[in-house]
Amino acid sequence: MIETISSPWPWYVAGALIGLIVPALLILGNKHFGISSNLRHICAACIPSSIPFFKYDWKKESWNLFFIGGIFIGGFIAAQFLGSDAPIIIHPDLANELAGYGITDLSGMVPVQLFEIHDLFTVRGFVMMVGGGFLVGFGTRYAGGCTSGHAIMGLSNLQWPSLVATICFMVGGFVMANFVLPYILSL
User: In this structure, which amino acid lies at residue 88?
Assistant: I
Return the domain boundaries, the chain.
1-83, 116-187
pLDDT in tens, 110-155: 787 777 778 778 887 787 788 888 888 888 888 888 888 888 888 8
**Phi-psi bin for 25: left (phi > 0), alpha (psi -120 to 50), beta?**
alpha
**pLDDT tier for residue 175 given thresholds of 50, 70 and 90:** very high
For 31-47, what is the mean pLDDT?
82
The number of angstroms, rounded, from the C-alpha of 167 to the middle of its chain's C-alpha atoms is: 17
This prediction has a pTM of: 0.72
Q: Assess whether pLDDT exceeds 80 at residue 63.
A: yes
CB distance 152 to 165 below 8 Å: no
More reliable by pLDDT, 186 or 76:
76
Q: Give the separation between CA 65 and CA 26, rounded to whole angstroms.
A: 17
**pLDDT tier for residue 163 given thresholds of 50, 70 and 90:** very high
pLDDT value for 187:
73
Q: At a CB cut-off of 8 Å and minimum separation 6, what does 59 contact?
A: none
Q: Assess whether pLDDT exceeds 90 at residue 98.
A: no
CB distance 119 to 183 below 8 Å: no
For 150-176, what is the mean pLDDT?
90
pLDDT in tens, 19-30: 888 888 888 888
pLDDT value for 167:
94
Q: Give the separation between CA 23 and CA 98, rounded to whole angstroms.
A: 40
